Chain A
Amino acid sequence: NAGVMQNPRHLVRRRGQEARLRCSPVKGHSHVYWYRQLPEEGLKFMVYLQKENIIDESGMPKERFSAEFPKEGPSILRIQQVVRGDSAAYFCASSPRGLDGYTFGSGTRLTVV
């Protein structure tokens, strides 16, 4: 059984470019969550999605960030016009429901140069 798969593992973008981070949840999990970890800090919640719906985006910056979880395919976290402050590790997690079986991926490390 594959766990949560995130790709790419490392992503380098120049300031002003777009970053697309992908997350394939555990098979059978319909709940997806994105978290961001800045250097030397804990993980911070960004957004919670179910298939085709955003349930809670209270942790998402209001501008430049968007997320989707389409009916088919992985969940995508999109960051437009990246800035140096977006450099962080972005973790995706999935669960079948609620907090049971909440499983994290290995993360995507975004570096903005």
Chain B
Amino acid sequence: DQQVKQNSPSLSVQEGRISILNCDYTNSMFDYFLWYKKYPAEGPTFLISISSIKDKNEDGRFTVFLNKSAKHLSLHIVPSQPGDSAVYFCAAANNAGNMLTFGGGTRLMVKP
């Protein structure tokens, strides 16, 4: 039973355009959400997070949107750069616990 799903395994975007990565979850107990970026042969690197009391969090080129009623979140990267090419994982947590539940990842390719 996948509690966190990233339905697009890959996404290709032109440099300078917006990248939108999507994530859906089923467990209504999740109240904290994170996005990680992962290069091959490296560990996940934290990008940005959002608490369920907010619907938007922004950090530079990265913005995360949360729609609690739809149990959906998205990561927007604008403008996209070739160095953003990586696998992006959405993760969710219950703030009372320390365990992260990850989606399957979306491979983003930003073409120069």
Contact = CB atoms under 8 A, between A and B. Distances in A.
A43 B104 CA distance: 8
Contact of B98 (A33, A41, A43): A33
A4 B98 contact: no
A104 B45 contact: yes
B98 A95 contact: yes
A45 B43 contact: no
B32 A99 contact: yes
Interface in A85-107: 91, 93, 95, 98-99, 102-107
Contacts of A102: 34, 46, 98, 100
Contacts of B79: none
A104 B99 contact: no
A102 B91 CA distance: 12
Given A41-B104, A42-B104, A43-B89, A99 B43 contact: no
B41 interface: yes
Interface in A52-91: 55-56, 58-59, 91
Contacts of A59: 99
A81 to B, nearest CB: 27
B42 interface: yes
B102 interface: yes
Interface of B: 4, 6, 32, 34, 36, 41-46, 49, 89, 91, 93, 95, 97-105
